[in-house]
């Protein structure tokens, strides 16, 4: 296992498609997710790490070694793709294949194959032709084939996209367990935030050919570095509202917040900002509990089981609030309190300041 460093990576496809713009990142030896919308350059970046694609510019390092000019074989990367790739042979031979090619002794191959096949519930189908398996089982075979050879880096590019939701959950849990056991550098590519949030120890968020943030799921959730990340992560997205700074007071619709303690951080950036607060960082009650609570009108209730998302309007603003209070209906007036230490403030251009 190695740490993978990408330095000033840029990739332009024929036809002048700039798929990767300027990527600088070091993926830790852990379960990493690469999360971003479709078309943002994730697969391109993974192919560059694997050596399947030469970057137009920039260097790739495994630990301190520059591997930019090494072949995929020399890099010893295992890659699993969206569509499972299996060969017309037994499940056993499918999994054993990379070891046979490397002329590993038969006994050792057998031990390894049984070990990984056991992890993925494939022991009873080892003699079956892999073509006969369903999609989920085929993908498990592909994952086993990748795992069996202890690669330097294990890349999974949207591997569960075509797999039914139930198997997907089981496979996620399995992957997590395996990463812990093998201490692998894994990069799990996905466009699904909940998959990234439940699965990984570190998340890299990608947009338009750039990595916007690389941090733990908690950090990304609490302290998104910009409004894209704030909006992309979380259900619902973070509330983001235009606001302005006037003499140490932040004006938000008809509301004012005293932010004189952070005035010196904000003032050099002008007077117009974006105010961010997560839906669960707003306390809500049906009756005013203190004088500083803000009355708002509930215009819509989204029912997520025990949790509700209320769409509130009033005081010149709209907010979504997550609550367990379950007897509020559309048209009710409710009282809210925004948790001050959870307020995030972004520049108009998107970067977070507070």
Residues that bind ligand ADP (CB under 6 A): 13, 15, 17, 19, 36, 38-44
What is the secondary structure of 284-339 as a DSSP string?
EESS--STT-EEEEEEEEEEETTEEEEEEEETTEEEEEEE------TT-EEEEEE-
Angle at 313 between CA 310 and CA 317, to 5 degrees: 120
Q: How far apart are CA 36 and CA 33, in angstroms?
A: 10
φ/ψ of 338, rounded to 5, equals -85, 125
Instruction: Report helix, strand or coil for 45.
Output: helix
Pairing relationship of beta strands 77-80 and 153-157 according to DSSP bridges: parallel
Q: Which is nearer to ligand ADP, 210 or 342 (CB)?
A: 210
Q: Which is nearer to ligand ADP, 35 or 147 (CB)?
A: 35
Shortest Cβ 325–ligand ADP spacing (Å): 40
Residue 13 binds: one of ligand ADP, Mg ion, none (C-beta under 5 to 8 A by kind): ligand ADP
Q: How far apart are CA 165 and CA 162, in angstroms?
A: 9
Residue 290 binds: one of Mg ion, ligand ADP, none (C-beta under 5 to 8 A by kind): none
Instruction: Report helix, strand or coil for 112.
Output: helix
Residue 151 DSSP symbol:
-
Shortest Cβ 55–ligand ADP spacing (Å): 12
Q: Which is nearer to Mg ion, 81 or 257 (CB)?
A: 81
Residue for token pair 């852990």: 30
Shortest Cβ 33–ligand ADP spacing (Å): 13
Q: Which is nearer to ligand ADP, 44 or 185 (CB)?
A: 44
Contacts of 180 (CB under 8 A, 6+ apart): none
Residue 291 binds: one of ligand ADP, Mg ion, none (C-beta under 5 to 8 A by kind): none
Shortest Cβ 191–Mg ion spacing (Å): 8
Overall residue count recorded for the chain in this entry: 354
The two three-digit tokens of residue 290, written as one number = 């203190």
- Residue 185 makes contact with Mg ion by CB under 5 A: no
Shortest Cβ 342–ligand ADP spacing (Å): 31
Q: Which is nearer to ligand ADP, 15 or 165 (CB)?
A: 15
Shortest Cβ 194–ligand ADP spacing (Å): 18
Binder of Mg ion out of 5, 30, 32, 43 (CB under 5 A): 43
Q: Which is nearer to ligand ADP, 15 or 105 (CB)?
A: 15
Shortest Cβ 205–ligand ADP spacing (Å): 12
Q: How far apart are CA 169 and CA 173, in angstroms?
A: 6
Q: Which is nearer to ligand ADP, 40 or 282 (CB)?
A: 40
Q: How far apart are CA 266 and CA 247, in angstroms?
A: 11
Residue 19 binds: one of ligand ADP, Mg ion, none (C-beta under 5 to 8 A by kind): ligand ADP
What is the secondary structure of 238-291 as a DSSP string?
PEEEEEEEETTEEEETTEEEE-GGGHHHHGGG-SEEEEEE-GGGEEEESS--ST
Q: Which is nearer to Mg ion, 43 or 227 (CB)?
A: 43
Determine the interface stretch with Mg ion among 37-45, 98-106, 109-117, 331-339 (rule: CB under 5 A): 37-45
Shortest Cβ 310–Mg ion spacing (Å): 36
Residue 306 binds: one of Mg ion, ligand ADP, none (C-beta under 5 to 8 A by kind): none
Residue 145 binds: one of ligand ADP, Mg ion, none (C-beta under 5 to 8 A by kind): none
- Contacts to Mg ion by CB under 5 A: 42-43
């Amino acid at each position: 296992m190695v740490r993978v460093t990408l330095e000033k990576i840029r990739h332009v496809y024929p036809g002048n498609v700039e798929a990767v713009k300027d990527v600088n990142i070091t993926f830790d030896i852990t379960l990493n997710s690469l999360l971003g919308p479709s078309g943002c350059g994730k697969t391109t970046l993974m192919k560059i790490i694997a050596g399947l694609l030469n970057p137009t510019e920039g260097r790739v390092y495994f630990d301190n070694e520059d591997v930019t000019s090494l072949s995929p074989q020399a890099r010893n990367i295992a890659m699993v793709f969206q569509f499972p790739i299996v060969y017309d042979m037994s499940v056993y031979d499918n999994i054993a294949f990379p070891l046979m090619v490397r002329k590993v002794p038969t006994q050792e191959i057998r031990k390894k194959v049984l070990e990984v096949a056991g992890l993925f519930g494939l022991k009873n189908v080892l003699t079956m032709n892999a073509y006969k398996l369903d999609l989920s089982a085929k993908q498990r075979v592909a994952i086993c084939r990748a795992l069996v050879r202890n690669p330097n880096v294990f890349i999974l590019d949207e591997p569960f996209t075509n797999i039914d939701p139930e198997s997907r959950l089981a496979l996620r849990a399995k992957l997590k367990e395996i990463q812990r056991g093998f201490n692998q550098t894994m990069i799990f590519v996905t466009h699904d935030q909940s998959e990234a949030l439940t699965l990984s120890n570190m998340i890299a968020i990608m947009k338009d050919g750039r990595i916007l943030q690389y941090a733990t799921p908690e950090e990304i959730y609490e302290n998104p570095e910009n409004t894209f990340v704030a909006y992309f992560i979380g259900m619902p997205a973070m509330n983001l509202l235009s606001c302005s700074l006037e003499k140490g007071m932040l004006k938000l619709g008809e509301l004012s917040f005293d932010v004189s303690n952070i005035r010196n951080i904000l003032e050099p950036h002008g007077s117009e900002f974006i105010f961010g607060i997560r839906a669960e960082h707003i306390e809500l009650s049906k009756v005013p509990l203190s004088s500083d609570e803000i009355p708002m009108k509930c215009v819509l209730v989204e029912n997520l089981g025990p949790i509700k998302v209320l769409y509130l309007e009033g005081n010149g603003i709209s907010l979504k609030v997550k609550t367990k209070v379950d007897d509020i209906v559309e048209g009710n007036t409710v009282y809210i309190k925004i948790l001050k230490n959870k307020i995030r403030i972004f520049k108009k251009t998107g970067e977070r300041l507070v």
